[in-house]
Structure formats: structure tokens, C-alpha cells
Structure 1
Amino acid sequence: MIVRECKLLNGSLAQYRALDDAIRTAKFVRNKAIRLWRDQVGVNKARLSLLCKELAEEFPFAKKLNSMARQASAERAWQSISSFYRRCKQGAKKKGYPKFQKHCRNGFADAARTVEYKTSGWKLSADCLTINFTDGFAAGKFSLFCNQETRADLFRLKINRVRVVKRADGYYAQFCFEANRFEQGNYTGKVIGIDLGLKYFYKYQNDSAVIYPKYLRRAEKRIKKLQRRLSRKFVKGKKPQSNNYHKARIRLGKAHLKVQRQRKDWAIKLARYVVSSNDVVVYEDLKISNMVKNHHLAKSISDASWYQFTECLDYYGQVWDKTVVAVAPNYTSQDCSNCGHRVKKTLSTRTHKCPHCQTEICRDTNAALNILKKGMSILGVEWNSTQGHWGTAGKPGTLGETSASVDDGKLD
């Protein structure tokens, strides 16, 4: 499935309020489905679908929402329930019990401010320049602002669903197409092992590094200032939520949204570069949810957006038909990349010194070499180390040099 996004422009205040009502009603249907599941035994997906019809008969405002949009909200509720059951069966530590969604005017999560239409309730113009929402809320016609690639997909691909998302800087329409993205990759015959970190965003086996711009740290001063201004505009029980309060709330939301978009743009561009330049990419599969429990490093880890970067690596690996491997990070920093001897280190120790083979290199470079070795062993390529040189059996190569040839995205 391919998702393209357009901004909804040239709407009146009444039209945007109609979209707000549709989003709030979709949230109401989802919360009612969660309540039914909590209160009754044996509730399944079919029972939640029947609930949509019952809500339309009982509440006039729920009937205004398109029937397929109500079904989509019930499906979203069932998805959270089924995920909860799956995690329980797997014995996960965090079960993720389904929760109710609030009317989060101050929130920044897209999922909490969304309404999803299927094949009805909306109509796209013949030139794909405008979209008209035709359900009971009658939000009306909006102009679509998007790039040329999105416009071309609107003409040539079948639209499966349309999702309206409210963000701090406006309303967006996300079009879901029934297609998979495949492109011809540029095969270079190179492999790379990536060690993610905080001092460097990542280092790979030839000792080269990429430094992260630290977008949150840069914007932190302004965000704190906007948060203080927002706090002064409203005091619970003393001051009402005035127009100035909502203006301050929107300014704060836009500041957070800018940081979010900067991180996403950085992750996408860097992942594209890494995957396009290499045929095999090996990275460490970090348990970030456990790492952020360290409150001394939690903000820096969250700011680094490792998860978003690795997700983009996996995505572009599928698009260009290249091999992307995630390996366990266990002892990659401790084991010597030359002889395998385990050398205990603290986080402050930045140099790897092996007392067994006298190897002395950067800690992150040593980890990247170990990560690459693990990944290539998963792919069935045997790597040997001889006097600091790496290579497949019978094909030695210099440190950090590709020693496995790749043809059309597959290892020889």
C-alpha cells in the first residue's frame, strides 16, 4: 500500500469545523466500541460492526458520519483489541490494554485526530485538484495542495481509502492506494555495518561517521518559552481558555510539528543514501523502549530518532530489492573485532584496547565491524580475520573494505 498526502486549502471556517465534528464523531464510535468490549464477554469484530448501525439509530450526530467511516473507526478499535490479545499470547511485558481517546486539542498525535473514509463519503474532481466531502457533516469542497508525484498517483492509481488528519498547522488528506512501490536499484557491490550512537548518529566499519543535527536540542529554548506563555494564558479553576490561549496552543503545536518533520526528513534522506550506496546494510536492532528508561539519556535517545531511521532502512531495502539485516546488539561493543576476546567497557570508554591481540581502534568502529560480521554470517557468508584483514574464505580484503561481491542485489 502506498500513502500520499495533500493539504486541504481554501476552506471556510464552517467547513473546517465540519471536519472537526467528523473527527470527533469517529473518535466517539471508536470509544463506544472499546466500552462495549470492556462491558460484554465474547465481543468480536462482527459485533463491533453491528454496533455502528445501533449508534447511528440512537445518536443523530453519529448518523451524519458516513457508514463506511463508522466501520473504519470500529475496525481501528478492533485492531487495538486484537493487538492486545496477540501481545498477551506472546507473553509480552507491556500488553498495551486498549484505551479511550480524548478530544486532544493540545495533543500532537495524528491517530487521535483522524477520520477515515473508504470508497464513499468523498468525491475527487476530474482534474484531481479538489476533493468534496459529501457525508452528513457536508464539509464541502477543498483544494488539494501536493507535489507532482502525488498528483500523478491520484490520476493513475486506484484509491482505497481517504484519511483526514488534523495537525497544528492545518488539515491534510491522506490517500491510500492499492499498490506496492518497487523501483530499480543501483547495485554497487558494497556492504556496510552500522553502529548507532549518540556522540555520532552512526559509524560504519571504515571509521567514517555521521553526526546528528539534534533538532530538539536546537528548538528546546523556543519550545520552553512557548510552553511558559501557554501556561500563563490558562490556570485551571482561575482563568478560562481564551482565544489568546488557543493561539498560544497552536504556536506551541507548530514548534513541535517542525521538530517532528525535521527528524522525519533527516531519517528519510539518510536512509535513502545508505541503501542506495550499498547492496547489503546491517544495523543493530536496539530495544529503544528499554534504553529510554535511563533518564540521563532518554531525551538524547528520543531526539536521535533511531527507530524512524531503521524503519526507513527496511522500507527502502524492499523498494530497491536490497538486503537489509537487523542483528542483536549483544556484546558488539565488548567483543574484539579482530580476535573475538571480550573486553568489558563502560559507556565513557570510547577506545577499544584488546589485551589479547593488541588491537586499538575506536569503540564504535569495533562495534560496526562486529555488527557487519554478524549480519554476513546470517546471510551465509563466512568472514575471517587475519592480521587485521577481513574477507570471505580465500578472498581477504582490507579493513572496512567490501570482500563479498554483490550482483543484482544478491550475494555470490
Structure 2
Amino acid sequence: MLVLEAKLKGKQSQYNSIDEAIRAALFVRNKALRHWMDNKDVGKNDLSSLCAVLAQEFEFANKLNSMARQASADRAWFAIKSFYDNCKAKKPGKKGFPRFKKRGQSVEYKTSGWKLSTDRKYITFSDGFNIGKLKIVGTRDLSFYAIKQIKRVRLVKRADGYYCQFCVDVERKEQHQHSGLQIGIDVGLEFFYTDSDGKTVENPRLLRKSEKSLKRKQRQVSKSKKGSYNRRKSVKKLAKKHLKVSRQRKDFAVKTARALVQSSDLVVYEDLQVKNMVKNHHLAKSISDASWSMFTNWVDYYAKVFDTWAIAVAPHYTSQDCSVCGTRVKKSLSTRTHKCHCCGTVMHRDHNAAIMILNKGIKSTVGHTESKASGQNDLYLGGETPLDKLAG
């Protein structure tokens, strides 16, 4: 699947109707979750049947397209299924028990409730909320795809406006000149990553660079009176700034991952547990700002697009073991140089770790993680939130 995104232009009354549709979709999702909590042995079909009951009971739910109601129930079931899967797998820590959502940001339609114009520059929504005809603004040309290839359409509200996402049933493939280059990368905070050839990519530190502006806008929000127009205006400015930082971060991750995969046949990286790493409050902000998980996800995605290999290996002792003789040289995080007392090797610790990661990837034949970008892609062009991430 390929998900394309474009901005929508319309009247304020149409935007208000989109907001109502989003609230109705959120209501159906929360009701489905409550039905599961209050009753035993509730399955996906039971939640789907609940949609028709809600439509009869609530007028605003009846206004929402029937398939949009089904999609909202599917979101609830996805959260429930993830919880069940984590319990069965005996995942340590919290299992992700489904929670109610206070605010919604999107509403998803399947194959009905919307219609594209002949020139694919306008889209019309025809459910009970009377959203009507909206102009599609963007660089993606939908004329390349048949209508039957568009399996889902999602309306998304963001700080800078409203967007439309099209889930297209097509597999993305690009030509790749195989060079035989194999490379291991060690992500870090000093450098974004260091590869096994000793080359480095600078850490952009996008949040840190915008922190001064973000703090100023946050102070403006705090000083304004709750419920006032000035507060709403300040909140919107703050949200736009956060959105800009997130887009900058994604743009950097996408371009860096593409360049890395395009230039090599094998990329090996560490399978880091970032959720555990951010528990260190001294490094949490810097780790989150680096967005290692987003970067490795895009590496996996482009590995499938270019028909190359991306392998994640266990990170144990990659920074401690010597890449030349294998001797374990213990060092703290503050020690940036690897000095082996056995063979005399001296190099930057990240360079040494990248070589160890590459060696692990080459040697591992069992238990490694290949490219995860298969089936329905969880990454897409021109947006931040994939289909399955919104399902919860």
C-alpha cells in the first residue's frame, strides 16, 4: 500500500463539518471500546454490529457514513487485538490496555462516502455531515491510479489545516544498482550515525534548535487567560511550531535513510529498545529528538523499495567488544575512544561499534530481523501518521 497526502481547501463551514465527522468517528470508537469492556467474549464482528445500533440510537452517528463507522470500530478492535497479542506474548511491563480518547484528529472512509472529480483535483464527501466539495492541493498526481486502487480515504486535522490521505493499492519499486557494499551503522547523540567505514552524519538536533522559540510561545500560552481568543491564537501558534519540528525531523530521517540504502546492498543496525532508553531523564529529550526508530523504519521501508537488505541485530556489547580481536573493553558513556589493551586498536567508539554491528549482521543467519516494510506500509509520503498507528 502507498499512502499519498494532500492539503484540502474549502470554506470554514466545511471545516466545521469535518470536525463534526471526526467527533462522531471518535464517539463510535469509544463506544465500541466501552462495549468490549462491559461484555465478555466480544469479537470484531460484535463491534461491527454495534455500529448499526449506534446509528439508530444517535442522530449524529447516523450522519456518519456506514463504512466510516465500521472503520472507527476497526480502530477500537486494533487496540484490543494489540493488547491481546502483548498478553499472549507475555510482553514485559505494560501490555497496552486500550484507552478512551478525548480528542480525535481523523475520520476514515473506505470505498463509499467520497468521490473524486474527473481531473482528480477535487473530492466530494456525501454523508450526512454535508462536507461537500473540497479542492485538493498538492504535488501528488492521483491520475496515475485508478479509482478502484484507492481503498481508503482519511480526513486529517492538523495545526495548519486539513489534509486528505489516499491509501492506494500499489507496490512501490525502484531500480537499484547493486554494488556489493555492506555497511553497519551505529546511531548516537554525538553523531546521528557512524558507519563501519568511519563516515559520520551530523546530528541535526532540530528540537534543540527550536527550543528557544517553543519556550517563548509556551510562555505566551501560559500567560493568556483560559478560554480567551488570545489563548486559542497562542495555542495554535505553538502547535504549528511543534508540527514544523516534527516535519523537519521526518524529512531528515527520510532523506538520510534513502541515501544510505540507495548506496549499499546491505545495511545493518542495532535493534534498540528506545522506549526503555528514554527512561533515562538526562538523555530522554536528546534521544527523542534524534528519532532513531523513525530512521530505522525508513531504512526498512527503502530496503524493500530498492530490493536490498536491512537487518537489525541485538545491541549487546557492540560498544564494549573490540572489532579487531573481540576483547571486551568496558567503558562508560563518557568515554568516546575505544582503546584495546590486548591488540592496541585505537578508534572512535562509534566507529568500533559500527564494525561490530556489521560483523554481527553478516554472521547472523538465525533470529535476525529483515526489512519490515512489507504488506501494508507503515510509512508513507507526505504525512506523519500511518494507517495502523491511528487504529488505536
Please report the TM-score for the alignment, with normalisation by the length of structure 2: 0.91
Q: Establish whether residue 193 from structure 1 lines up as the match of residue 184 from structure 2.
A: yes
Are the aligned partners of 1:196 and 1:306 in contact in 2 as well (CA < 8 Å)? yes
Name which of 358, 361, 369 aligns with 2:355.
369
Are the aligned partners of 1:3 and 1:175 in contact in 2 as well (CA < 8 Å)? yes
Q: Which residue of 1 is the match for residue 372 of structure 2?
A: none
Are the aligned partners of 1:26 and 1:73 in contact in 2 as well (CA < 8 Å)? yes
Q: Which residue of 1 is the match for residue 72 of structure 2?
A: 73
Question: Letter of the aligned partner of 1:26 in structure 2?
Answer: A
In structure 1, C-alpha distance between the alignment counterparts of 2:229 and 2:306, rounded to whole Å: 49
Shift of the alpha carbon at 1:182? Answer: 1.5
What per-residue deviation string (whole Å, max 9, x for no partner) do you get for residues 257-276 of structure 1? 00000000000000000000
Shift of the alpha carbon at 1:350? Answer: 0.7
In structure 2, C-alpha distance between the alignment counterparts of 1:158 and 1:65, rounded to whole Å: 23
Question: Letter of the aligned partner of 2:12 in structure 1?
Answer: L
What per-residue deviation string (whole Å, max 9, x for no partner) do you get for residues 79-122 of structure 1? 1001100000111122000000102xxxxxxxx31100011111
Q: Which residue of 1 is the match for residue 48 of structure 2?
A: 49
What per-residue deviation string (whole Å, max 9, x for no partner) do you get for residues 164-216 of structure 1? 00000000000001122122212122111101100011101121111111110
Are the aligned partners of 2:119 and 2:143 in contact in 1 as well (CA < 8 Å)? no
In structure 1, C-alpha distance between the alignment counterparts of 2:144 and 2:314, rounded to whole Å: 38
Runs of 4+ more than 2 Å apart: 149-157
The 1:291/1:259 distance shift into structure 2, 3 A limit, reads same
In structure 2, C-alpha distance between the alignment counterparts of 1:194 and 1:143, rounded to whole Å: 43
Q: Which residue of 2 is the match for residue 281 of structure 1?
A: 267
Q: Which residue of 2 is the match for residue 138 of structure 1?
A: 130
What per-residue deviation string (whole Å, max 9, x for no partner) do you get for residues 112-159 of structure 1? 311000111111000000001110001111110111x44344457711
What per-residue deviation string (whole Å, max 9, x for no partner) do you get for residues 308-337 of structure 1? 000000000001110111111100010010
What per-residue deviation string (whole Å, max 9, x for no partner) do you get for residues 277-331 of structure 1? 0011111111100100000000000000100000000000001110111111100
Are the aligned partners of 1:182 and 1:320 in contact in 2 as well (CA < 8 Å)? yes
SS, match of residue 267 in structure 2:
strand
What per-residue deviation string (whole Å, max 9, x for no partner) do you get for residues 14-37 of structure 1? 110000000000000000001111
Q: Which residue of 2 is the match for residue 113 of structure 1?
A: 105
SS, match of residue 191 in structure 2:
coil
In structure 1, C-alpha distance between the alignment counterparts of 2:313 and 2:87, rounded to whole Å: 25
Q: What RMSD over aligned residues (CA atoms) do the two structures have, in Å? A: 1.2
Are the aligned partners of 1:334 and 1:342 in contact in 2 as well (CA < 8 Å)? yes
Q: Which residue of 2 is the match for residue 83 of structure 1?
A: 82
Which has the higher relative contact order, 1 or 2, with Cα contacts under 8 A spaced 6 or more apart?
2
In structure 2, C-alpha distance between the alignment counterparts of 1:152 and 1:50, rounded to whole Å: 36
In structure 2, C-alpha distance between the alignment counterparts of 1:315 and 1:3, rounded to whole Å: 13
Q: Which residue of 2 is the match for residue 122 of structure 1?
A: 114
Q: Which residue of 2 is the match for residue 270 of structure 1?
A: 256
Q: Which residue of 2 is the match for residue 162 of structure 1?
A: 153
SS, match of residue 97 in structure 2:
coil
In structure 2, C-alpha distance between the alignment counterparts of 1:157 and 1:300, rounded to whole Å: 44
In structure 2, C-alpha distance between the alignment counterparts of 1:48 and 1:157, rounded to whole Å: 27
In structure 2, C-alpha distance between the alignment counterparts of 1:299 and 1:253, rounded to whole Å: 18
SS, match of residue 101 in structure 1:
coil
Name which of 216, 221, 226 aligns with 2:217.
226
In structure 2, C-alpha distance between the alignment counterparts of 1:87 and 1:267, rounded to whole Å: 28
Q: Which residue of 2 is the match for residue 257 of structure 1?
A: 243
